[in-house]
């Protein structure tokens, strides 16, 4: 397998983290998205959305969308429960992550960390911070009395939600206001085979 990905991308990190935890070997192909490498004709043939990560299987199949890739890789393991209700709960949180967490924390982090202070997109930062805080608030309330998001054990829903929420401070969001989220983040870091975002 080949993982076409970017080292600082939270979406790519989710897949690298799972690959590591499953003990899967793969070739790591760095795509310099800041240099436009995800928009070349060659890359668009892999993923018409022009986004990383893309997992290239040995038979040439290209899998895109980080959370879809997580489900593919986790199939048959405890990280993706077979029970239909538990599986639906996993998908529910993965959809929530893509709809409510990643757009705000991903863009907020990108603007705060990489764009110059006078860049016009800085005007969007307060809106992204507000959206991110709303999403973290949902996670905070749900995690009260729970160890993980689904079934009381670590699943790909946790990996998906962890990808961007643990780097909220890089978007200028203080996690001390979300103690349940912080405790859960510490629990995720303790899982066997865990690697940090810019590792792997």
Ligand X SMILES: N[C@@H](CCC(=O)N[C@@H](CS)C(=O)NCC(=O)O)C(=O)O
Residues of this chain that bind ligand X (CB under 6 A): 6, 9, 11, 33, 38-39, 50-53, 65-67, 98
Cβ atoms 154, 188 nearer than 8 A: yes
CB of 110 to ligand X, least distance (A): 8
Cα dist. 152→23, 109, 126, 174, 191 in Å? Answer: 23, 30, 34, 26, 14
Using CA atoms of 142, 145, 148, 150 in order, give the dihedral in degrees to the nearest 10: -70
Considering beta carbons, is residue 38 or 165 the nearer one to ligand X? 38
Q: Among residues 72 and 187, whose Cβ is nearest to ligand X?
A: 72
Q: Give the nearer residue to ligand X in terms of CB position, either 6 or 129.
A: 6
Supply the minimum distance, in Å, between the C-beta of residue 147 and ligand X: 25
Shortest separation between residue 103's beta carbon and ligand X, angstroms: 9
Whole-number minimum distance, CB 66 to ligand X, in Å? 4
Angle (deg, nearest 10), helices 10-22 and 156-165: 140
For ligand X, the closer CB: 49 or 85: 49
What is the rounded distance in angstroms from the CA atom of residue 104 to the CA atom of residue 151? 27
């Amino acid at each position: 397998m080949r993982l076409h990905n970017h080292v600082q991308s939270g979406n790519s990190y989710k897949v690298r983290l799972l690959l590591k935890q499953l003990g899967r070997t793969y070739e790591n192909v760095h795509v310099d998205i800041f240099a436009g490498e995800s928009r070349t004709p060659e890359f668009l043939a892999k993923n018409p959305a022009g986004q990383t990560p893309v997992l290239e299987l040995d038979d040439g199949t290209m899998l895109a969308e980080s959370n879809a890739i997580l489900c593919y890789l986790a199939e048959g393991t405890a990280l993706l429960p077979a029970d239909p209700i538990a599986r639906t709960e996993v998908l529910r949180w993965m959809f929530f992550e893509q709809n409510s967490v990643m757009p705000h924390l991903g863009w907020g982090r990108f603007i705060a960390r990489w764009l110059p202070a006078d860049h016009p997109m800085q005007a969007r930062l307060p809106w992204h911070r507000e959206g991110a805080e709303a999403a973290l608030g949902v996670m905070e309330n749900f995690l009260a009395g729970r160890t993980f998001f689904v079934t009381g054990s670590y699943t790909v829903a946790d990996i998906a939600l962890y990808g961007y929420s643990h780097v909220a401070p890089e978007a200028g969001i203080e996690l001390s206001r979300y103690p349940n989220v912080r405790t859960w983040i510490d629990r995720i870091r303790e899982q066997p085979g865990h690697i940090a975002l810019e590792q792997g």
